[in-house]
Amino acid sequence: MTPALFARELAAALAASLPDGFTASADGALVTIEPPDGSGVTTALDIEPDDIGDLDVYADAAEGVLSLAQDVVCEALDATWPSAGGGAVDLPIPGARVEGDTLRLWYGDEDAPVLALRAVTIAS
């Protein structure tokens, strides 16, 4: 999977889970997270051509994007996102793991995530 295609798939999975008014989009191998005020933040996936067959590189890149999205949302809302509920103030750590040709994405504990995103199919 090319970095540009992966960026689009990752942005779509993330966009479906962001709070109302926030967007995630891709342009090439760049992903932009934008809050309602339009002050978006963009990051590069940093997947080199030699890394395309190494699916764990995609998981690392996805965790970076999830972390950026969390920073943008928390700053814009001045609140913890995603919220673990019950008055918890700790940020749920973003996670990503490759299972076969599927990339699982979540925030919090892998076995009991606070927020699970839709999986992204990746191919080597």
Tell me what pLDDT residue 53 has.
Answer: 80
List the domain range (segments joined by +) for residue 33: 3-121
Q: What is the pLDDT of residue 61?
A: 96
Number of domains in the chain: 1
Give percent of the chain with pLDDT exceeding 70: 95
How does 42-77 read in b/e, with b if 16+ C-beta sit within 10 Å?
Answer: ebebebeeebbeebebbbebbbbbbebbbebbeebe
Q: What is the pTM of this model?
A: 0.93
Average confidence (pLDDT) over 72-91: 84
pLDDT band at 124 (very low <50, low <70, confident <90, very high): low
Let me know if 6 is exposed, middle or buried by CB neighbors in 10 A (0-12, 13-18, 19+). Answer: buried
